Amino acid sequence: MWQPACKLEQLKARAELYALVRDFFARRQVLEVETPLISRASATDPMLDSVSLNLSAGDAVGPRPFYLNTSPEFPMKRLLAAGSGPIYQICKSFRDGENGRRHNPEFTMLEWYRPGFDLEQLMDEVEQLVLGVLQCSPATRRSYRNAFVEITGIDPFSVSDAALSDLARERAAYNGPVLSRDENLDLLLSVLIEPELGKQGPEFVYHYPASQAALAKVGETADGYAIAERFELYIEGLEIANGYFELTDAREQHKRFKEDNQQRVKLGKPEITIDRFLLDALAAGMPSSAGVALGLDRLLMLRSKLSRIQDVLAFPIERS
């Protein structure tokens, strides 16, 4: 088990991918930045489990809890608020409990922010990056609602909770305790919809239900359903990137943090320290921006035509 899990040629393929990415952003005058992986606060998202650690910061306080970042989002937004202009980062991110053929608890994320961009413009840019890396056909775009209707035959906004549960039981083999509406939607998305996405080239899915906004702004459909200004990119059924038209309202952000923590308590999960620095930065004024996080290990899997994340990692968690 001391040897790398991937073939040695994958080390070179990774280096080439990073060079392509850095060249892409250099040409566009997007600045590469670096932010801490260890923070005193972390993502409150109830479905993300941060890795925590005890660290003595070399002061009189002694060892105290910190987190490893689940993404570099918060400190990068602080840079935006400080006037950095467009920025990107390639860094490790950590998510406890996520392990499988498409997940490793420690993975490499490419995250970038574009002040002045809207969701459409950011999707255009993501597409250009991906086309350059994969040499594939142009991307298509489909709303979350249309993807659901076309693949499952149900409208995710108007369907009843009972009909959703029935579908989860009949077509996703779910037989456990009753799921919430969003859990049912997540289940159907994972089992029925994702495998059908991005079969003929990259596919963007946009306008998620507002309940799944995470850190995106919320809008409304023509017929009055609340939607998140959020997209995901899929290629060959693999989720590659998650983008937002970013929430910049400090008060709304604070409210979401608190609601997340209440939800965490209900789920029996530990509350997460709220990032006061982010709230202060938003209060000071973050420019209107669109931002996206892209899984570089997965992009490398596609570029190298490999189906398991372990095939592109030197030392996945089992060998770490």
Partner 1 sequence: MASYSTNEFRSGLKVMLDGDPCSVIENEFVKPGKGQAFNRVKLRNLKSGRVWERTFKSGESLEAADVMDYDMEYLYTDGEFWHFMMTDGSFEQHAADAKAVEESINWLKEQEVYVVTLYNGAPLSVSSPNFVELEVIETDPGLKGDTAQGGTKPATLSTGATVNVPLFVNIGEILRIDTRKGEYVSRAKS
List, in order, residues 6 or more apart from 180 with CB less than 8 Å away.
none
- Could you tell me which stretch among 85-93, 121-129, 168-176, 311-319 binds partner 1 (CB under 8 A)? 168-176
Residue 176: CB atoms within 10 A of its CB come to 7
170 binds partner 1 (CB under 8 A): no
232 binds partner 1 (CB under 8 A): yes
Binding-site residue total for partner 1 (CB under 8 A)?
A: 31
304 binds partner 1 (CB under 8 A): no
Q: What is the DSSP code (8-state) at residue 193?
A: I
Q: 282 near 255, Cβ under 8 Å?
A: no
Burial class (CB in 10 A: 0-12, 13-18, 19+), 260: buried
- Could you tell me which stretch among 2-10, 54-62, 183-191, 271-279 binds partner 1 (CB under 8 A)? 183-191
- Closer to partner 1 at the Cβ: 28 or 141? 141
Binding mask 211-230 for partner 1 (x = CB under 8 A): -x-x----------------
Residue 179: CB atoms within 10 A of its CB come to 17
Choice from 137, 158, 190, 307 touching partner 1 (CB under 8 A)? 190
- Could you tell me which stretch among 15-23, 169-177, 248-256, 257-265 binds partner 1 (CB under 8 A)? 169-177
175 binds partner 1 (CB under 8 A): yes
Choice from 131, 134, 136, 179 touching partner 1 (CB under 8 A)? 179
Choice from 52, 84, 99, 140 touching partner 1 (CB under 8 A)? 99
Burial class (CB in 10 A: 0-12, 13-18, 19+), 99: middle
Backbone angles phi, psi at 158, to 5 degrees: -105, -15
Q: Which residues of 165-175 are buried (b: 16+ CB within 10 A; e: fewer)?
A: bebbeeebebe
| Residue of 248, 237, 300 lying closest to 109 (CA atoms) | 300
- Closer to partner 1 at the Cβ: 19 or 163? 163
149 binds partner 1 (CB under 8 A): no
Q: 6 near 311, Cβ under 8 Å?
A: yes
Choice from 92, 101, 255, 319 touching partner 1 (CB under 8 A)? 101
| Nearest-approach distance from CB 84 to partner 1, in angstroms | 25
Show the beta-strand stretches assigned E in 175-288.
Answer: 203-209, 218-220, 226-235, 238-245
- Which residues contact partner 1 by CB under 8 A? 45, 47, 97-103, 168, 172-177, 179, 182-183, 185-187, 189-191, 194, 212, 214, 232, 239, 242
